[in-house]
Chains A and B, each alone.
Chain A
Amino acid sequence: DVVMTQSPLSLPVTLGQPASISCRSTQGLVYSDGNTYLNWFQQRPGQSPRRLIYKVSNRDSGVPDRFSGSGSGTDFTLKISRVEAEDVGVYYCMQGTHWPWTFGQGTKVEIK
């Protein structure tokens, strides 16, 4: 299985400051159709996961533009330009290229 490794696992951030989460995969994530199925999910406390970013850098409808995704190959990043209180939660990267689809361990974002 493809292993997804996130860092850091805990990310205390000051309100209004930027945050960055790294995600590395053990195999390249380009599928035969040319797409890279690397997605980011946010799980707020007590809620189900919500997709923020799909195929590396495409922001879902309703997701604030302070969230951005980038990367290629085996190395990907989720950035929050200015953290707000509502961003507290756990963030997961997930690959949908090689079955079984797999998730990173999660990065817990909290406010300092």
Chain B
Amino acid sequence: QVQLVESGGGLVEPGGSLRLSCVASGFSISDSYMSWIRQAPGRGLEWISYISGSSSDTNYADPVKGRFTISRDNAKKSVYLQMNSLRADDTAVYYCARGTRAAAPWGQGTLVTVSS
């Protein structure tokens, strides 16, 4: 079945960097848009980025533009989120999901905590 597994979360100091990974199985990732969505306590769900199957189409929400970079390696069935210049308000559970405008399914998420 379709499965997405995120990893790479953890505790990082403000200004630091993290790289999240999402490994897909059960479908052809190269044919699929992929997205990253985050859920912060008290701030609900926020769609932060997506990438097309060929990587030719990417988009970012304003709060992460210029700091986060989405990428993929179809041979490794993986999607990545490079997060730089992290701030306290980036603290959240980060989910990857298959698709974009109506993405499903989502992975189980990985927790990113930005704190000194």
Q: Which residues of A contact B (CB under 8 A)?
A: 31, 37, 39, 47-51, 54-55, 60, 92, 94, 96-97, 99-103, 105-106
Q: In whole angstroms, how far apart are the Cα atoms of A39 and B100 in the complex?
A: 11
In whole Å, how far is A96's beta carbon from the nearest beta carbon of chain B?
3
Q: Which residues of B contact A (CB under 8 A)?
A: 44-47, 59, 61-62, 95, 100-109
- Residues of chain B within 8 A of A103, CB atoms compared: 44-47
- Residues of chain A within 8 A of B45, CB atoms compared: 49, 92, 94, 103, 106
Main secondary structure, interface of B, reads loop
- Residues of chain A within 8 A of B105, CB atoms compared: 50-51
**A105 CB contact (under 8 Å) in B44, B61, B104, B109:** B44
Given A37-B102, A103-B45, 4 new contacts (CB under 8 A): A49-B45, A92-B44, A96-B100, A96-B103
- Residues of chain B within 8 A of A55, CB atoms compared: 102
Considering the complex of A and B, which 4 residue pairs feature the smallest CB-CB distances, nearest first?
A: A96-B101, A51-B104, A54-B102, A103-B45
Q: In whole angstroms, how far apart are the Cα atoms of A105 and B62 in the complex?
A: 19
Pairs A–B under 8 Å by Cβ, sample size 24: A48-B95, A48-B106, A48-B107, A48-B108, A49-B95, A50-B104, A50-B105, A51-B102, A51-B103, A51-B104, A55-B102, A60-B104, A92-B44, A92-B45, A94-B45, A96-B100, A96-B101, A96-B102, A100-B59, A101-B47, A102-B47, A103-B44, A103-B47, A106-B44
